[in-house]
Amino acid sequence: MARLILRALFPLLLLVPLACSRENPAILSNAAGVPLVRVRLLQSQESVTVAASQPPTVRTSADNTPRPLQFPNSPVSVTFGPGGWRIGSLTLSPGVLTIQPAADGSVVVNGQRYRGQYRFVPVTANRFDVINDVDVESYLMSVVSKEMLRLWDAESYKAQAIAARTYALYEARTTPAGRGWDVYDDERSQVYGGIGAETDKSINAVQSTRGIVLAYGPAGQERIFKAYFSSCCGGIGQSAYDAFGDPWSEPLSEQNHGTLCSASPAFNWGPLAIAKDELTRRIRSWGERKNRAEKDMALLTSIEIQARNRLGRPVRFLLTDIRGARYSLSGEETRTAINSNAGNGPVLYSSFFRTINDAAAIRFVDGHGRGHGVGMCQWCAQAMAERGYKANQIVLWSYPRSKLVKAY
Ligand SMILES: [Zn+2]
Render pLDDT for 192-227 as a digit per residue (tens, 0 to 9): 999 999 999 999 999 999 999 999 999 888 999 999
Give me ligand 1 centre to Cα 291, in Å: 34
Answer with the residue of higher pLDDT: 190 or 15. Answer: 190
Query: From the CB of residue 273, how many other CB atoms can be counted at a distance below 10 Å?
Result: 14
DSSP state of 311: T
Query: For the chain, what percent of residues have pLDDT higher than 70?
Result: 93
Region 42-46: mean pLDDT is 97
| Phi–psi pair at 395, nearest 5 degrees | -75, -35
In angstroms, the CA 66 to CA 77 distance is: 20
Average pLDDT on 180-187 reads 95
Residue 232 has pLDDT above 60, yes or no: yes
pLDDT in tens, 328-339: 999 999 999 999
Model confidence at 2: pLDDT above 70: no
Report how far ligand 1's centroid is from the alpha carbon of 386 (Å).
14
Band of pLDDT at residue 62, cut at 50, 70 and 90: confident
Q: From ligand 1's centre to the CA of 194, what distance in Å?
A: 28
For residue 19, name the pLDDT band (cuts at 50, 70, 90): low
Between the CA of 16 and the centroid of ligand 1 the distance, in Å, is 30
pLDDT on residue 178: 87
Sheet bearing 117-122, strands edge to edge: 63-68, 57-60, 97-100, 117-122, 128-135, 36-45, 183-184
Res. 110: pLDDT tops 50 = yes
Give residue 74's pLDDT: 82
How large is the average pLDDT for residues 238-244? 98
pLDDT greater than 60 at residue 13: no
Q: What is the pLDDT of residue 33?
A: 87
pLDDT on residue 41: 98
Which has the higher per-residue pLDDT, 70 or 243?
243
Q: Residue 141 and residue 108: Cα distance in Å, rounded?
A: 18
pLDDT of 377 strictly over 60: yes
Kindly indicate the confidence band of residue 6, based on its pLDDT and cuts at 50, 70 and 90: very low
The mean pLDDT value for 45-69 works out to: 91
Give the pLDDT score at 65. 85
pLDDT at 120 over 50: yes
> What is the Å distance from ligand 1's center to 51 Cα?
43
The three-point CA angle 223-393-384 to 5° equals: 130
Give the pLDDT band (50/70/90) at residue 1: very low
* 268 alpha carbon – ligand 1 mean position (Å): 11
Cα separation, 209 vs 391, in Å, equals 9
Q: What's the CA-to-centroid distance between 365 and ligand 1, angstroms?
A: 19
* Contact of 227 with 403, CB cutoff 8 Å: no
Question: Cβ(339)–Cβ(203) under 8 Å?
Answer: no
Q: What is the average pLDDT value for the chain, to the nearest integer?
A: 92
Compute the distance from residue 233 Cα to the ligand 1 centre, in Å: 4
Q: How far apart are CA 84 and CA 122, in angstroms?
A: 10
The mean pLDDT of 85-111, rounded to a whole number, is: 92
Give one DSSP letter per residue of 217-228, joined into a string: SSTT--EE----
Q: Which residues sit with Cβ closer than 5 angstroms to ligand 1, an ion?
A: 233, 257, 261, 377, 380
Strand runs (DSSP E) across 188-231, as ranges? 212-216, 223-224, 229-230
- Spell out where 20-155 has E strands: 36-45, 47-52, 57-60, 63-68, 76-81, 84-87, 90-92, 97-100, 107-109, 112-113, 117-122, 128-135
Cα–Cα distance, 337 to 271 (Å, whole number): 19
Strand ranges of the sheet holding 314-321, from the earlier edge strand across to the other edge: 300-308, 314-321, 326-330
User: Could you give the CA distance from residue 214 to residue 402 in angstroms, rounded to a whole number?
Assistant: 6
Rounded CA-CA distance 116/107 in Å is: 10
Q: Which of 1-15, 24-38, 61-75 has the lowest mean pLDDT?
A: 1-15
> What's the confidence (pLDDT) of residue 8?
37
Distance between CA atoms of residues 353 and 269, nearest Å: 9
Distance CA 167, CA 160 (A): 10
Distance 398 CA to ligand 1 centre (A): 10
Residue type, 382: Q
Distance from Cα 367 to the centre of ligand 1, integer Å: 14
239 CA → ligand 1 middle, Å: 14
User: Once rounded to an integer, what is the mean pLDDT over residues 255-262?
Assistant: 98
From the CA of 311, how far away is ligand 1's center (Å)? Answer: 14
Share of the chain above pLDDT 90, in %: 85
Element (H, E) at 207: helix 200-207
Does residue 24 have a pLDDT over 60? no
Mean pLDDT of 47-56: 94
pLDDT tier for residue 18 given thresholds of 50, 70 and 90 = low
* For residue 129, pLDDT beyond 60: yes
Q: Please say if the pLDDT value at position 83 is more than 80.
A: yes
Q: How far is the CA of 112 from the centre of ligand 1 (A)?
A: 33
Per-residue pLDDT reduced to its tens digit, 294-323: 999 999 999 999 999 999 999 999 999 999
- Please give the distance of CA 45 from its chain centroid, rounded to a whole number: 22
C-alpha of residue 107 to centroid of ligand 1, in Å: 39
